[in-house]
Amino acid sequence: MSNKNKTGNAMDITITSQEKTDYLFIETNAVLLTAEDLIGQSEMLYEEIEKYSFKKILIDESETQLPKELIPYFDLVKNYIIEFPVEIRELKIAVVTGEEYQETAKSRETLCVSRGLNYCSFLTIEEAEKWLLS
């Protein structure tokens, strides 16, 4: 799936969804280098989530290249609050990232939780699923 970020640059993002018994499982594969890329992917993910009735979401970003700087995540979380419907607060979202993104993932988690979002980051699908289903 190819999409354009808000600056018009092409982004190659693959998003695959699978309905599990108790949650929606989404895998992403992308190269995201900027806040605009992150925001573009988050909009695509939310569109995918809206297709289903699940309130529990597990997103596997372990094959996605993410920015390693913290600044883009401030813009990303700000965008969640401003641009997404208030119903986003009803979702319980677990995200799995690669180990090299652990610091930024935990920072994004802190930003989300401080703004009332039920969001947690993990290094393995097993840990994420355990939290999601608890």
Q: How far apart are CA 39 and CA 32, in angstroms?
A: 9
CATH classification of the domain holding 36? 3.30.750.24
Q: How far apart are CA 111 and CA 43, in angstroms?
A: 18
pTM of the entire predicted model: 0.91
Q: How far apart are CA 90 and CA 105, in angstroms?
A: 21
Higher pLDDT, 6 or 106: 106
**Total domains present in the chain:** 1
Tokens representing 64 are 């996605």
Residue 43's Cβ-side half-sphere holds a number of Cα atoms within 13 Å equal to 15
- 37-92 pLDDT tens trace: 999 999 999 999 999 999 999 999 999 999 999 999 999 999 999 999 999 999 99
Q: How far apart are CA 37 and CA 62, in angstroms?
A: 16
**pLDDT greater than 70 at residue 4:** no
- DSSP class of residue 98? -
In this prediction, residue 12 has a pLDDT band, given cuts at 50, 70 and 90, of confident
**pLDDT greater than 60 at residue 15:** yes
Element (H, E) at 45: helix 35-50
Question: Which domain, by its residues, includes 9?
Answer: 2-133
Provide φ and ψ at 4, rounded to 5°.
Answer: -115, 140
